Structure 1
Amino acid sequence: MTAGNPSVEDTTAWAAEPMSRDKVVHAALSVIDRDGLGALNMRRLATELDVTGGLLYHYVDNKADILQSVAALVLGEVKVPQDSGSWRQWAIELTTSFREAFVRHPNVLPLMMDGLPRRLSTRLYSRTAQVLVDGGVPRERVSTLMEGLEAIAIGHAVYSSAALRGSAPDFGERQQKFSPLHDALSAVDMTADQRFQACITALLDGFVPPERGSERKEGT
């Protein structure tokens, strides 16, 4: 099954799978993607799977267990970059992949607001810390930089999903009354993805200016 926006074929194949914890979690993500986090409860999930509510407890403990597993499923979509030797490029690609996973599943974003990614992806975060240290980021700044990268990924995904729904701030004709704002908006010549990566690059360069930061040796 392709999480987030499954095709008819994917949905049919998923529905035909025997009952399992994995099937329950994927069904929960499908409900959340389609109808929002608040729509998920055990009764709704049982209806989605066409089973009795009691059967679900053979595979999951409770709703909290399901939500944590849903978050882990979304985080599992994050692609760990290949080691190209450039720690900055590695960090940019990883953070971009985080953002893409969140954009695919915007209704899951509230689950990511309390440090859940760090608790569920300890190995990945440990790897990221090592990459940053090897790249020349002072150890005392590594956790702050990682927090900043995570915040940019989550925040930009929130804004992107709002824009897709048409609920993001739109200055419209009002921008004409404020010349500096109008000029700044008119001067934008980057796509949303390019602006996102520019923000990441600025954050990385703020912690370790390019002329001072050493690049990791390939294979480190």
Structure 2
Amino acid sequence: MPTTLVLLLFAYLLGSVSGSLLLGRFRGVDIRTRGSGNAGGTNALRTLGWKFALGVVVIDIGKGVLATWLALTFAPADGPWAPRALGFAAAFVAAMGHVWPLWHGFRGGKGVGTLLGGLVVLWPLALLPLFLVWVCVLVASGYVGLASIIATACLVPLAVWTKVDLPAQVFSVAAPLLVVFTHRANVRRLLAGTESRFERVRFWRRRA
């Protein structure tokens, strides 16, 4: 039990290392004072450019990968959870650290990249279908938040269709719930018609 708790605590602390805030310190910028005020990859792209955003995404996905791999690798044989279950729990806890980072006043990003890092280790076959859904929704609507919500929600039917194990089933429900919660402001803006679009990615609109 102590080892399990230590691994989960480390996952949270690792998740609390925000890519945008860490890189922003090197540039003397707090991204939470720019654009939407969110410490995530989308706001990084809009306000500081693609190179900065790429670094943010690599860090945010990477910490999800590392937290999950460590839990999977060092899960105690006599622990309360099987290694795979602990791995999914660590991925989710790391995402919570990203959303509520200890090192940054509990004001972080939205957790999508860190959850994705967990899938890289534990459920890689889910990556391609989720990515395709995300791209299709983004190109059709121009809304990054909506694309993230719908793509993550596709974990549920994917889990049913592929008949995954119980830890993956639980994660397939918990992850979309967290993403919807962290995007609640986006949902309100969508309903109000005030959400910002990425018009550059709406290729079909350009041809029309």
- Structure label with greater radius of gyration: 1
Q: Which has the higher helix share?
A: 2
TM-score, normalised to structure 1, is 0.34
